[in-house]
Chain A
Amino acid sequence: MLVSVYRYNPETDLQPRMQDYNVDLPPGKDMMVLDLLQLVKDQDQSLTYRRSCREGVCGSDGMNINGRNGLACITHVSEIVKNGKVVLRPLPGLPVVRDLVVDMTAFYRQYERIKPYLQNDEPPPAIERLQSPEDRAKLDGLYECILCACCSTSCPSFWWNPDKFVGPAGLLQAYRFLADSRDTHTAERLAELEDPFSVFRCRGIMNCVSVCPKGLNPTKAIGHIRSMLLERGV
């Protein structure tokens, strides 16, 4: 199988290039893309990429696989191979540190902006803040995000304005705390999001939903945030 990998080392390369590798796949096995990358790395030790849990939990190995963002560790080669070829590039829209490793600073800065932690001004109870099963159920489909950045880096609005638009991953988490019955800072959170960029730069093209490796729906969460802003602002 031909594997074409984006290569760039800022210390030695003037510009990035695609490098082809011929990899012999073990017969009778449907490997994951991460396993394929390991076979490439066996040939060329200079290849750099992030990986950790190898089971779609840590979100380290998000990359662009044959034109579509995904996690290398849970993407079967058979699912994405086109004409016997696999093309691997770093996540689009973020600066490349080296090869398939991107600088996630802009992504994390937006995540930090939405204050991704519970804020409650009421005196803490003796044991814990309780939540009804119905209120807890509202967080399903929101808390599972692993921050792999596959969604935000497939969003053109995030490519154009990574410093202003929160992006689908950040907005999914923003709604996770807006929807939490234990959080008392709803008004402050919404006030931070009502400008023309933070939420409203989303044009609803749903690339984020299409690529999310956890099957989450940031567009729906963004719709809920818009509805909350509308209820508050009209």
Chain B
Amino acid sequence: MACVYIPVQNSEEEVRVSLDQLPRDASDILDILKAEQAPLDVWLIIAREYFKQGKIEQFRQILLEGSSHEIDEYYAEVRYERIAILNALGAYYSYLGKIETKQREKDEHFILATQYYNKASRIDMHDPSTWVGKGQLLLAKGELEQASAAFKIVLDGDRDNVPALLGQACVQFNRGFYSDSLELYKLDPENVEALVALGIIDFQANEAHGIQKGMEKMQRAFEIYPYCAMALNYLANHFFFTGQHFLVEQLTETALAVCDHGLMKSHAYYNLARCYHTKGDYEKAGLYYMASVKEINKPQDFVLPYYGRAVPCPGWQGLDPARLAGLGQVQLKLGDFRSSLSNFEKVLEVYPENCESLKAVGHIYVQLGQTEKALETLRKATKIDPRDAQAFLELGELLISSDTGAALDAFKTAHGLLKKGGDEVPIELLNNIGVLHFERGEFELAEQIFKEALGDGVWLYVMDGRIRNSSMDSRDSTDQYKDMKLFHQLEEDGVSLELPWDKVTTLFNHARLLEQLHDTEKANILYRLILFKASFLDRLCLHYPDYLDAYLRLAAIAKSRNNIQLSIELIGNALKVNEKCPNALSMLGNLELKSDDWVKAKDTFRAAGDVTDGKDSYATLSLGNWNYFAAVRSEKRGPKLEATHLEKSKELYTKVLVQHPGNLYAANGAGVVLAEKGRFDVSKDIFTQVHEAASGSVFVQMPDIWVNLAHVYFAQGHFGLAVKMASPSPAFLFLPNFFFFLGSNSFPNFLHVFMITFFIFQYQNCLKRFCYSTDAQVLLYLARTHYEAEQWQDCKKTLLRAIHLAPSNYTLRFDAGVAMQKFSASTLQKTKRSADEVRSTVAELKNAVRVFSQLSAASSYHIHGFDEKKIETHVGYCKHLLDAAKVHCEAAEREEQQNRQRLEVARQVSLAEEARRRAEEQRKFQVISFRDYTIIIILLSVWLGHWKSHPNMATPWVLIGKQLERRKQEDELKKVMQQEEQFLRIKEQWKTSLPMPSSKRKDRSQAEDDDGGHSEKKRRKGGKRRKKDKNVKGRYEMEEADNEMMDDHDEMEEDANMINDQQEDGGENAQDLLIAAGLEDSDAEDETAPSSAINRRRRAWSESDEDEPPEMMQRESSPPAGDRENSAELPESDGEIRENDFRDDESDKPNRDAGDDDEVDD
């Protein structure tokens, strides 16, 4: 035990004072000191001891007493010790002034300190230690120049005065002249304190080289004097960073043993705590952090342990996402975020710009879920220190969910910084950058990053094609996706298949990228590599997290290649690993739907929903789809069942939308259900919104939405001529409104044509954008639209394309046949047709006959769903048309002949006219030129048969073309009358030949026949609304949930519609003409112009044109069940038509008579 001996006055004895046991009351000691007139150095020693023990009051008391006047007088000769006491007091007050924050007290302390130093100076002007003290005081006051002067005075007297040198060095240090101060410090190579100070200076320089040098100095100091706590602490600090935790412990323990100063101890405890902290011994770490904090009275002195305490978890320094996630649990257990947050806030009060604390606070905010605050804090941290990779990392992590672009930037910055700093870039960071690139569609960049992340390994051989699937029996090739022989072989060949666990995720992502780039084969091998390693580890009871996904991706590849069986097997494997994996279950459900296993599929979807407590929106969505499909599936379409299913599916879609308002698929589904229920406005809005939202992500590709939009417009286009149309495409925006203002009633055909164009645009867009034009189904829709628009050739071409794409789809052939038949029929119905037209009609009919007869023949070995009889009907009808067409052809040729003659006459007339005109020219310039123009127009129109009651034309026509007109008119009327008569007869036949009206549809058609006029139109429109749904129904698929079977079903139905259309063709012809005839009768008296008959006919046609599309829609609505009866009924009616046609040819004469009658009218 250290002790001092106070000599007892006038004796040889001494009083022994143990420094450990200094009395609490300093007066006791003072009494002894005074009584024995102890030497002043003893006073000093005791004062210092009090100071060391933190008993500041006692320390002051002794020194004050030691500097009192009595002492001065008594010890007048002992100058040095008196000065020392005064200097000690001066130093004490300097220190107080230095640490005092309040300016007034600070000044008071400094004044006191100055007084003591001045007093000391009075004793001896030249005492160096006083000057040093003064220098220190000035330093503390920040008066560097004067401090320097003070030190200089000392140094002038003694060049080697260490404290003065140190003071001077300190001045230089504060001025930032590190090298100068170094020079000064270096003067005494053996001075421990100087060495330590030098070391600290080196550390402050903060360069690798400086740290190295600093370490050397510290070590030397340690060798010279192994108990310097400061050096020990710094050494420990260093070894902590180099990871030599054992040394840290030893050093700090020594430091703690030798040192009795609070700050030093605190630092030592802190080092120890950090050491345990990193080693994962959180309890001990926590204890030492607490000890460290306890040692210091004011947080300003030493803030570091607050950090430590605040972050009793290891993750925050690493910040790498995987470790963070993995250690999240530990954090939760140990980390009391609230109190650690308050600790950090304490730190930040002192150092508001401290990056480490900002990061930690940001991290805590993340943990507490306060994303906004976390973002703010981290942004601040990155701003303060733009070179802090960790901060950028954390920032990126945080941004991933909200702003991928900014997240990517942050990650890239972190990546750049780490690279620049020569640090190892964590694979998780690279992985995240890669994934972000991937998500943004920057595949090449993603690939580069993934490659960088993966580094060397067996996968390189896969990627450059050196490892590939070996040849195998094609019968087994389906097992290729499960085959592990490849890897066993590779292992045997000595190829290392090592796959570090932290690279699995990246490898999976890379495989996913390859898949996206259609490099399926390589992706396949990589997935299997993961599985191979997984199965290996499985035996060791270790698990890769990703390998279930690898199974699912393999299954998805198999599915996309239509290998359903294999896909189901792979899913089965995945389910073996985790029988409750909702993704696997959902996918299995889809596959079961695809293989037409409805009941199973439903169960599977239910199971998928159950395992996630209905929280998995995909499972709910699938179930919704299932219900929807079930609703529209049955051809019989029980209305009750349908409604239930629809309701259920709507409910499910809504449920998903409530959970995730942004779910496009659910929105799409809801739109479809609404459309199905006839609420087109709402559904259209939904589709439009989904459409807008869906454009812009590489992962969301929804061709369905285009189709659905087109469908809705289609459905609306026919009835909703007055419905406001909100076009999604700017190019189309003003047009519909324009037409709308014009009044849709006056331009129905115009608008109709426009709408059709619009649908075609929509469908084509869909084809081009999404399906690489490979979707025969969409082509079918397109064809249908052309059909509605009566663009027969386009319809046929579109169908031929579809056949080319889907050769085995016989319904397409059937439809093509129908289109050709329609084309022919419509050409033959034309009032005017050239011989060429008729000839092409004949050719087309022959094609139709061929197509139908082939279908009929093919039906012997194919189940394509048509009734043979039905086809026969078509064949019969086409043949009949063909015969008729031949006659028409002759007629057309005859007519052409006549036209030529007429033209000749016209030419002569015009020549004559020209001659006359020339004669007149000299008299009347202007009239002639006008007449000339008129004549040409008229002659042309005569020739072309395009008659119009043009007001300007009426007069000259009467004047000039009377002869021509009459003849022309006669021809026309004759023809009309012929047809009229013929179809009146048909009408009779039709009525009588109809069997008992057993179906609704038949009733209707009969009614139509009966009314045949305007009133009917209205009625039909009323009935139409009901039917609209069907159009929309067509194609509705979710990304994964597409269902071949349903498509087929749709096609069939579509086809059935076509068939229905066709079946009424016979009737329709008759009907159209009936309408024409009816109008002729009723309107005859209204018309006075000579060309009235033709006009009337034209109008009648256009009327029936308008009528036709809705009629088709209606026909589509007819239940397919009625088909058979209808087809049975048709042959008879066809027969009738044929008969009539023949009669038509023979009955040339009576018709002519009719024509004459008409002329009488005139």
Q: Do A and B come from one complex?
A: no
**Residues in A lying within 8 Å of B, measured CB to CB:** none
- Chain B interface (Cβ within 8 Å of chain A)? none
